[in-house]
Amino acid sequence: MSSNEKKTFNHIPLSVLDLAPINVGSNAGQSFKNSVELAQHVEKLGFNRYWLAEHHNMPGIASSATSVIIGHIASATNHIRVGSGGIMLPNHAPLVIAEQFGTLESLYPGRIDLGLGRAPGSDQATAYALRRTLQSTGDDFPAQVEELESFFDQGLAGRVRAFPGEGLDIPLWLLGSSGFSAKLAAEKGLPFSFASHFSNEYTLPAMQIYHQHFKPSKVLKEPYAMLGVNVIVAETDERAKWLATSQQQQMFDLMRGMPKQFQPPIDDLNAAWTIREQATFEEKLASTSTIVGSPETVKRKLESFIKDTRANEIIINSHIFHQEDRLRSYELVAEMMD
């Protein structure tokens, strides 16, 4: 199979979600170099798309200027689709996003995805710093999506038009961690991506809503859902669990409201946390879709997840400290593909 053919797992495509982690003692420049290396690596392995997430005010995540990084990744790759997972639309004027992604699509035709979320991707103070007002909330997200769509649709063009942007065919995805965006995506006949990697308890209800309410559109005749999963693979279950302690530390720091740069793995999480903190964290971890282990363990659990959810595509977040282990994890996933 050539690198231009999309490999699949259980007959569905696999994609990559990158938060561009900044390792402790490193910087954003190195993070972006690592992202380019990873994107080139997974492109050769046959992954379908490479998405970057918008986050702000987090010292361990470098993908805040998401559209800029999308362009950087697209320029360093050849055919893999590159996009946002996602752009937090309430943080931006829809016209600006239309122009940014119109520019990206003009530079890299047929390769750009625009995934849209309604959360701020930050805390309230940061949201205010981004918007200068908090009048724009998730409640007006449907109207913002319609406004954005109008800038791409020549037939809906008004007095203000997006150049570049107008008339371009840029796939819009709605992203969500609850039923709100699932229903909106269904009603608009758009593809839907659900954040199972941090909101797994709502995955099945959201998928049910999406399938029950789906209305065919000029974009899709049938529902198409991509689900996020945290996956960390190593040669043994023990090593994979050790690598996963970096992501667990990050989750715990976010839970405490004290985000840090991405930390290396540690041998004993129990020594770092109190019993009460461990119990709180275990409850939080249970709400995520996280699969950690050897190739045999991960394949079994991923197959079960796909069967249970009826996912059309899986997007994998492998938050691993050492770059060589991160690359290897995606290699091992690729070896599971048909």
Query: Are 231 and 17 within 8 A, CB to CB?
Result: no
Q: What confidence score (pLDDT) does residue 131 get?
A: 74
Domain ranges within the chain, ordered by starting residue = 8-240+290-336
Task: Please state whether beta strands 12-18 and 313-317 pair in parallel, antiparallel, or not at all (unpaired).
Answer: parallel
* The amino acid at 190: L
* pLDDT confidence of residue 268: 87
Tell me the CATH architecture of domain 8-240+290-336: Alpha-Beta Barrel (3.20)
Residue 113's SS3 state is strand
Specify the 3-state DSSP secondary structure of 226.
Answer: strand
Burial of residue 47, with CB atoms counted within 10 A of its CB: 0-12 exposed, 13-18 middle, 19 or more buried: buried
pLDDT at 5: 56
pLDDT tens-place values along the chain, 338 residues long? 344 456 677 689 999 999 999 999 999 999 999 999 999 999 999 999 999 999 999 999 999 999 999 999 999 999 999 999 999 999 999 999 999 999 999 999 999 999 999 987 667 788 888 876 666 555 799 999 999 999 999 877 678 999 999 999 999 999 999 999 999 999 999 999 999 998 889 999 999 999 999 999 999 999 999 999 999 999 999 999 999 999 999 988 888 889 999 999 999 888 878 888 788 777 777 778 999 999 999 999 999 999 999 999 999 999 999 999 999 999 999 998 86
Are 174 and 128 a contacting pair, CB within 8 Å? Answer: no
CB 253 within 8 A of CB 14: no
